[in-house]
Amino acid sequence: MKNQFILIVLSFFILGNINAQQTPASKQTKDYSIVGATAHIGNGKIIENSLLVFSNGKLTYVGNNTSSNQKGEIINAKGKHVYPGFIAANTSLGLAEIDAVRATRDFDEVGNFLPHIRSIIAYNAESKVVETMRPNGVLIAQITPRGGTISGTSSVVQLDAWNWEDAVINLDDAVHINWPSTFSRGRWWLGEDASLKPNKNYSKAVNTITDFFTKAKTYLSGSKTPKNLPYEALEKVFSGTQKVFVHVNGEKAIVDVINNFNKLNIKNIVLVKAHGAHKVAELIKNNNVPVILERSHRLPDNEDQDYDLPYRMAKILTDKGILVGLGMEGEMERMSARNLPFYAGTYAAYGLDKEKAVQIITSNNAKILGIDAKTGTLEVGKDATLFISEGDALDMRTNIISNAFIQGRKISLETHQTKLWKRYSNKYKNQ
């Protein structure tokens, strides 16, 4: 019986190691030089025949290829392309593993006003879904809660870590609010009219949000008794050191968001999704409000809109002078986050300059998430978080990554998907 028990334990141990995510890369101990690649800096600039050198996790040289500046291990990238690590904003990556299994879903807490709930505590660095991001160049993500009126706080992580403490880059970067819709549909399952009509409760819902912030401001400027955790969680919002991401759609709702937060003297806001933003672009620009767009691969909101409006939205807003980033909220959002570069590629196919499309998922997202001092561009002094692609990284046909680094650590590009691909490729090769 004892031997049988030992065999069972060993079997679980072996199977666990077979199925587990690969071990995170160790700290960089030797210098690297990437030689000859076309370097996409992430700020709109390109360097042909470039040289990138990094040591102790930081870039020490970025410029033209000269042998005198090469040091450490040489990586010949002639004919290839090097990019900053792509950054996925507004994603619940690592907060759920299998959509159909409730026990693996931890992105939505019970309650309605939860600014004190921190998504980072629930982040699973060993998620099988997380490891599938890296072969497409997605190396950083903003882990965002869902649900309620105030969902909680997000944090920004790098995607090769033992746990959330190792992963975090920007802790509790923003509070997320779901702004009410100006329109609603009836509940057809209760026999109500399911057509779209004005939301009768819109004003009441908006007043509830502004009242909550007003009471929090009063509480924070007073004796703070009795203790109120949700109110205390907004202290950094009022001081301007923490951002407010407002998930909102429709031009009237966008105008209401900006006007109401101006009255509350909260300036550091970001609009998320923001369907209809092109109709109130001047207001958004004049208030210096960035926009995190939804994925480009979707249908227009209304029947009278151009079929390709979602594809052109990044160019429209960029041309208006608005800082635009790209988020991943929506159906299958965790699994689809690996396609981040291809959504940006669609914006490029519909008029946006190719390097500006790269900026949307590198330097622009970095600025909006407050990590641009560390990453987002290939510049001396910043983290060596980057990858080498065989071709255009925004094209799924040519985004074939040979090497990737996070903070100078050479990371594995193997996943359970690549293992299955190799396995069945060999099967049919031998037939």
What CA–CA distance (Å, rounded) separates 257 from 260? 5
Residues of the chain within CATH 2.30.40.10 domain(s) are: 22-85+376-431
Helices (H), 246-308: 251-263, 281-286
* pLDDT 10s digits, 99-147: 777 778 888 888 999 999 999 999 999 999 999 999 999 999 999 999 9
What CA–CA distance (Å, rounded) separates 289 from 267? 8
Residues of the chain within CATH 3.20.20.140 domain(s) are: 86-360
* Residue type at position 367: K
Number of other residues whose CB lies within 10 A of the CB of residue 374: 18
Average pLDDT, the chain: 92
φ/ψ (deg, to 5) at 140? -140, 145
Q: At what angle do helices 251-263 and 202-220 cross, to 10 degrees?
A: 20
Structure token digits, residue 78: 């002639």
pLDDT band at 299 (very low <50, low <70, confident <90, very high): confident
What CA–CA distance (Å, rounded) separates 332 from 162? 25
Whole-number pLDDT of residue 9 = 46
Is the bond leading into 226 cis (omega within 30 degrees of zero)? yes
What is the pTM (predicted TM-score) of this model?
0.92
Assign domain 86-360 to its CATH architecture. Answer: Alpha-Beta Barrel (3.20)
Q: Is the pLDDT of residue 154 over 70?
A: yes
Section 283-309 average pLDDT: 92
Q: What fold, for 22-85+376-431?
A: Urease, subunit C; domain 1 (2.30.40)
pLDDT band at 67 (very low <50, low <70, confident <90, very high): confident
253: left (phi over 0), alpha (psi -120 to 50) or beta: alpha
pLDDT band at 187 (very low <50, low <70, confident <90, very high): confident
What CA–CA distance (Å, rounded) separates 118 from 296? 28
pLDDT band at 20 (very low <50, low <70, confident <90, very high): low
What CA–CA distance (Å, rounded) separates 257 from 268? 12
pLDDT band at 3 (very low <50, low <70, confident <90, very high): low
